[in-house]
Chains A and B, each alone.
Chain A
Amino acid sequence: MATYSTNDFKGGLKIMMDRDPCSIVENEFVRPGKGPAFSRVKYRNLKTGRVIERTFKSGETVDAADVMETDMVYLYADGDFWHFMDEESYEQVSADAVAVGDSSKWLKEQDKCTVTLWNGAPLSVEAPNFVELAVSDTDPGLKGDTSGGGGKPATLETGAVVRVPLFVQIGEVIKVDTRTGEYSSRVKS
């Protein structure tokens, strides 16, 4: 297993802490007064998302975490697992609800997602920044209102609910920013 010393620490480096894979957020070298050198490190636990702060003796080593971000195509869900495929190797992985998390409401078959793998198993799934989804249900609203002001809730084909302008109708396809969960535009078919 590869190891990293505090000298290698930088944002984005994946390390094992307390048996969980973590990603370094920030590393600051400190040498107080005439005292001992150490690193003040912030890291995110990739399983829980929690950011933890602790200090490391200068030169201390930690195990590297075998964490990889790969682009994969979402295939289907079977009720318990979401299945993804690497388009180059055709290798498939299945992610549980914990790994998929909030991304599940944006996932549409054949969408390309970023899957973070830890020892080959999905740790988290990130939906594409923008997804195009059909509106399955929304209030008919007022015809002719194109101002975009106000807005109304719309349920999308994946079950996600977003606020859309009043002119958006059932059956139309819209583009949504998954990072904010906000309506972006209508997609002309």
Chain B
Amino acid sequence: MNNPWPPTCSAALLHQRAELYQTIRSFFAEKGVLEVDTPVLSAAASCDVNLDSFSTELVNGAQRSQKLYLQTSPEFAMKRLLASGSGCIYQIAKSFRQGESGRFHNPEFSLLEWYRVGFTVQDLIAEMIELLMSCFSQNMAFQTTNYARLYVQMTAIDPHHATIEQLMDYASAQGNPEAVEICGDSLSNGLDYVFSQYIQPRLKKNVVYFVTDYPVCMAMLAKLSDDTPATAKRFEVYFNNVELANGYEELTDARQQKARFEEELADRKKQGLDKVPMDHNLLSALESGMPECSGVALGLDRLLMLVAETQSINEVLSFPINRA
């Protein structure tokens, strides 16, 4: 094994990251979006069954200690700022997810997350295109497409009416009968699995895809539409088989948000996962009134990988986890 003290990225990449951050900061300064800083540690954690938070102890004297979690994204704290009247905000934030290591993952990574008051998903996509054009030197092609249309076109499955059995049968027919063990009986897991295995790799190269209007079971923290069938006002961004960003027209209803947290916690219990505290501060913030807004989280290390055309996240990180 190589000596682990030096960085895995080149000196040029250190400069490219600095330039990228400069571009991002100028972009938002011009638009009057405020840069904020929120804590990485929190007494609450994400309840998402597919997210595993790091935790640590805060020692308060000899007898008392408190469990704190490292954020999986700055979303909850930023929403509390929005509810307090901050107006449009952005943050470049270190985020942490257990067990995520690979060519496109490091357990500690950087997110660019921003929220625009009064924006719809379409407004935010337009702004993101503007931002991406200023980050990449070459001309880029962009395509906005509807999740269901893409799904039907590639797999002939209608995701709004699909069942987990139908999705697993499809995976089996494609040579992945083991998908059942990965997805369990979760419809959203099945939809994500089929999308990542058979749709994502077939998207055109060098086109930035904005995939919109997700099935309701994949709403996460997004508002639902009034259409029939209802869809989640969520979008994901893909570029050259890399998932780059995830955005929502944000759910502002405290009761609905609490219900979604409780559902996730019930799922965690069912799967024998850690019980984590839901964020009551977020719920209180929503109760006090959060302005209608849209927000998106964009993986900065991956953006840098795409800008610098590298094959692995280690080439853009100074010290990946095995050298941390």
A residues with a Cβ closer than 8 A to B are 7, 27-38, 40, 53-60
Q: How far is the CB of B45 from chain A (nearest CB, A)?
A: 15
12 sample A-B contacts, Cβ–Cβ < 8 Å, listed by A number: A29-B102, A31-B50, A32-B200, A34-B48, A35-B191, A36-B186, A37-B50, A38-B193, A54-B175, A54-B176, A54-B178, A56-B182
Contacts of B102 in A (CB 8 A): 27-30
Q: How far is the CB of A59 from chain B (nearest CB, A)?
A: 7
Which residues from 184 to 222 on chain B have a C-beta closer than 8 Å to any C-beta of chain A? 184, 186, 188-189, 191-193, 195-197, 200, 218, 220
Decide if B155 is an interface residue (CB 8 Å cutoff): no
Known: A30-B196, A31-B100, A55-B176. A36 touches B182 (CB 8 A): yes
| A33 and B220 alpha carbons, distance in the complex (Å) | 11
Extra pairs beyond A32-B196, A32-B200, A56-B178 (4, CB < 8 Å):
A36-B186, A36-B193, A54-B178, A55-B176
Decide if B38 is an interface residue (CB 8 Å cutoff): no
| A73 and B103 alpha carbons, distance in the complex (Å) | 40
* Chain B, Cβ-Cβ closest to A57: B182
Complex contact B50–A35 (CB within 8 A): yes
* Chain A, Cβ-Cβ closest to B195: A32
Complex contact A60–B99 (CB within 8 A): no
| A53 and B197 alpha carbons, distance in the complex (Å) | 12
Known: A55-B178, A56-B178. A34 touches B246 (CB 8 A): yes
8 Å CB contact of A29 from B50, B103, B184, B218:
B103
Of all A-B residue pairs in the complex, the 9 with the closest CB atoms, nearest first, are A35-B192, A29-B102, A32-B196, A32-B192, A57-B182, A36-B189, A33-B192, A38-B182, A57-B181
Complex contact B103–A36 (CB within 8 A): no
Decide if B243 is an interface residue (CB 8 Å cutoff): yes
| A37 and B175 alpha carbons, distance in the complex (Å) | 19
Which residues from 231 to 258 on chain B have a C-beta closer than 8 Å to any C-beta of chain A? 236, 243, 246
Contacts of B181 in A (CB 8 A): 57, 60
Known: A29-B102, A55-B176, A55-B197. A34 touches B182 (CB 8 A): no
Complex contact A35–B188 (CB within 8 A): yes
Complex contact B178–A35 (CB within 8 A): no
| A13 and B5 alpha carbons, distance in the complex (Å) | 26
Known: A55-B176, A55-B182. A35 touches B193 (CB 8 A): yes
* Chain B, Cβ-Cβ closest to A36: B189
| A38 and B144 alpha carbons, distance in the complex (Å) | 27
Complex contact A29–B100 (CB within 8 A): yes
Q: How far is the CB of B157 from chain A (nearest CB, A)?
A: 16
| A33 and B186 alpha carbons, distance in the complex (Å) | 14
* Chain B, Cβ-Cβ closest to A54: B178
Contacts of B183 in A (CB 8 A): 36
Complex contact B182–A32 (CB within 8 A): no
Q: How far is the CB of B29 from chain A (nearest CB, A)?
A: 31
| A57 and B193 alpha carbons, distance in the complex (Å) | 11
Contacts of B191 in A (CB 8 A): 35
Contacts of A56 in B (CB 8 A): 178, 182
Complex contact B192–A34 (CB within 8 A): yes
Known: A54-B178, A55-B178. A32 touches B193 (CB 8 A): yes
| A164 and B236 alpha carbons, distance in the complex (Å) | 60
Decide if B68 is an interface residue (CB 8 Å cutoff): no
Decide if B25 is an interface residue (CB 8 Å cutoff): no
Contacts of B105 in A (CB 8 A): 29, 31
8 Å CB contact of A58 from B48, B99, B192:
B99
Decide if B101 is an interface residue (CB 8 Å cutoff): yes
* Chain B, Cβ-Cβ closest to A32: B196
Q: How far is the CB of B220 from chain A (nearest CB, A)?
A: 6
| A37 and B48 alpha carbons, distance in the complex (Å) | 13
Contacts of B179 in A (CB 8 A): 55
Contacts of B50 in A (CB 8 A): 31, 34-37
Complex contact B218–A32 (CB within 8 A): no
Complex contact A33–B196 (CB within 8 A): yes
| A100 and B218 alpha carbons, distance in the complex (Å) | 53
| A89 and B193 alpha carbons, distance in the complex (Å) | 50
| A27 and B104 alpha carbons, distance in the complex (Å) | 12
Contacts of B197 in A (CB 8 A): 40, 55
Q: How far is the CB of A92 from chain B (nearest CB, A)?
A: 35
* Chain A, Cβ-Cβ closest to B105: A29
Complex contact B192–A36 (CB within 8 A): yes
Contacts of A60 in B (CB 8 A): 181
Contacts of A27 in B (CB 8 A): 102
* Chain A, Cβ-Cβ closest to B102: A29
Contacts of A29 in B (CB 8 A): 100-105
Contacts of B189 in A (CB 8 A): 35-36
| A36 and B171 alpha carbons, distance in the complex (Å) | 15
